[in-house]
Amino acid sequence: MTKKDTINNFAPNLSSNSLEKKPVEDGIDYERHPEAKGQIIDGEYVKDKGMNWFVAALFLVGDMAGGGIVALPTAVQQSGFILGCTLCIIMAIVGTASAIFLGKSWEHLPVKWPEYRLHCRKPYAEIGYRALGHKVRTFVSVCLNITQFGICVVFLLLAARNIHDFIYSFWPGVPGLCYIIIILGIALLPIIFLKSPEDFWWAIVAGMMSTVVAVCLIMVGAKNDYEVCNPERHEPTFNIFNLFVAFGTVVFTFGGHSAFPTIQHDMKRPSQFTKSSIVAFTTICVFYAPVVIIAYLTYGDSLRDSIIPSIQTSWIQQAVNMMIAAHCILTLTLMINPLNQETEEFFDIPHHFGVKRITIRAAMMAAIVFTAETVPNFGPVLNLMGASTVTLTCVIFPSIFYLYIKANEKKSLETGREELCTFSEMVERTDKKVFVFCTFILIVGLIGGVCATVSAVKEITTTSFEVPCYLRNFYEQTQNSTETSTNCCGKFQNITVGGQEVSGYCNKPSLEFYGHWFDGNINDVKSQFD
């Protein structure tokens, strides 16, 4: 990027030629775009209509809550209780700070560039554009698309897994997980063919409420198992590989930042996003902390990818399955929509409903289903997404963009021109305490993200490898999660709370899930499950 990379003052993503040729102050049609109506009060943009900060906080909670909660207890087991809780606290602080940085970056844009008062399809990418230019906007957009695609895969896998286990508890002859993935993908097609669900914010609220119910039920179920399971629990042996895998899970849990600027854009007073962020992350911590603690004390290393199969009260386990599945399905239908819209724009597909739209959207769902069939284990995919693109959008980008946008603002006041700062100019114009804090966040994100990505790839290809669904006719492999719907507790994962026979009730043990520790004959242990 050149030192004099100048940013224009006109709309970067509007199709109207008139808006490209003259300042936006003269180009906004307020009759056509009533959402842009507002005023500048003491340097702050205030919209005539929009959600208040508390409602925005609820949307942030709905965006983050859900899939991460079932895997977070496993992450704490992988890293050890003290280190795991410390990692969660650090990421909660980093996540909150990053959300605030994003909010401070965006609130400046509609004040200085009125085009951002209109509907903005990708506000996160526009933040990158105003911070570092066109190429960064493109890179951020690609990262967002990869993140959304990956999250769709994770939620499809998790929903299919939960639906399978729910049906299995009543009908052991249910088709395998691989078939449920395809059936669920087909069932969702009519929904994704519909017009953009941009106004269906109720889906986020409904997803949040289903997660709240699931959290409460998980705590009740774990408490019921505590008396029997706690005396038999076993601690996994610590290794650095597990710590980095856990990093990806924790980042995924606290990493809904890719949607934050969109939520802020719909606020009446975008400058109040800081309050929304603090309330949202505090609420998430209040939700998750009791689950992590009671799961650790009750189950130990009998936990696997998800806490749900470890709950031995059948009706609670199945209720949680359906609550989390509902959240995943609702979130998936929202997350896939921006992918569909961008793909349709790339291929110049008409906006009206037709064969071309059906083809593109069906192809997108087919790609998601194919990826899920290739890696039919949601845990490693979740870890990989958390370690890679979610780390970028949650940890790396917010700090960098905030530093440059604030420095660019100071430079424009000094020079009277809109020019991007070089690195040295950014450092000169940044408060040293802020620079040190952001640098700390970047170091944590870069080191943790790189190591966690390598660890997640290793996990997918080695310890948690499962043969792709479409190759299973050529290999003999039993799916761990489809033997039964329950992972029993204890050192050898053979303790039943209700005194049931191990055979036919407990899944076969996975004693090396956290790494090798048992030097006996594993077949002797597994024989009691046959």
pLDDT tens-place string over residues 452-478: 888 888 877 776 778 888 887 776 554
The burial of 268, by beta-carbon neighbours within 10 Å (0-12 exposed, 13-18 middle, 19 or more buried), is given as middle
Query: Who contacts 150 (Cβ-Cβ below 8 Å, separation ≥6)?
Result: 381, 384, 385, 389
Q: What share of the chain is helix, strand, coil (3-state, %, to 5)?
A: 70, 5, 30
For the segment 483-514, what is each residue's pLDDT rounded down to a tens digit? 567 899 998 888 999 888 888 888 888 888 88
For the segment 225-237, what is each residue's pLDDT rounded down to a tens digit? 999 999 999 888 8
What is the model's pLDDT at position 131?
A: 93
Average pLDDT rounded to a whole number, residues 81-109:
93
For the segment 249-306, what is each residue's pLDDT rounded down to a tens digit? 899 889 888 889 988 888 889 999 999 999 999 999 998 999 999 999 999 999 988 8
What is the model's pLDDT at position 29?
A: 60
Mean pLDDT is lowest, of 180-189, 395-404, 440-449, 465-474, for 465-474
Q: Are 483 and 493 in contact (CB under 8 A)?
A: no
With both helix axes pointing from N to C terminus, report the angle between 202-229 and 67-79 in degrees, rounded to the nearest 10. 40
Q: Which two tokens stand for residue 419?
A: 């020019």
What is the model's pLDDT at position 12?
A: 39
Q: Name the region of 46 (left: φ>0; alpha: ψ -120 to 50; beta: rest).
A: beta
Average pLDDT rounded to a whole number, residues 157-161:
91
Supply the pTM of this predicted model: 0.83
The burial of 160, by beta-carbon neighbours within 10 Å (0-12 exposed, 13-18 middle, 19 or more buried), is given as buried
pLDDT band at 363 (very low <50, low <70, confident <90, very high): very high
For the segment 367-403, what is each residue's pLDDT rounded down to a tens digit? 999 999 998 887 788 888 888 898 999 999 999 999 9
What is the model's pLDDT at position 34?
A: 64
What is the model's pLDDT at position 438?
A: 95
What is the model's pLDDT at position 518?
A: 58
Q: Which two tokens stand for residue 123?
A: 């506000």
Domains of the chain: 66-251+275-474 (1.20.1740)
Asked if residue 51 has pLDDT above 80, the reply is yes
Asked if residue 191 has pLDDT above 70, the reply is yes
What is the model's pLDDT at position 21?
A: 34
Asked if residue 1 has pLDDT above 60, the reply is no
Calculate the alpha carbon distances from 433 to 89, 105, 393, 437, 446 in Å. 21, 18, 23, 6, 20
Query: Who contacts 466 (Cβ-Cβ below 8 Å, separation ≥6)?
Result: 375, 376, 377, 477, 479
Asked if residue 415 has pLDDT above 50, the reply is yes
What is the model's pLDDT at position 425?
A: 92
For the segment 304-347, what is each residue's pLDDT rounded down to a tens digit? 888 999 999 999 999 999 999 988 888 888 778 888 878 887 88
What is the model's pLDDT at position 524?
A: 56
Among 173-177, 204-208, 250-254, name the most confident range. Answer: 250-254
What is the model's pLDDT at position 3?
A: 42
What is the model's pLDDT at position 479?
A: 45
Asked if residue 13 has pLDDT above 50, the reply is no
What is the model's pLDDT at position 6?
A: 42
CA within 13 Å, CB half, 478? 9
For the segment 15-28, what is each residue's pLDDT rounded down to a tens digit? 333 333 333 343 56
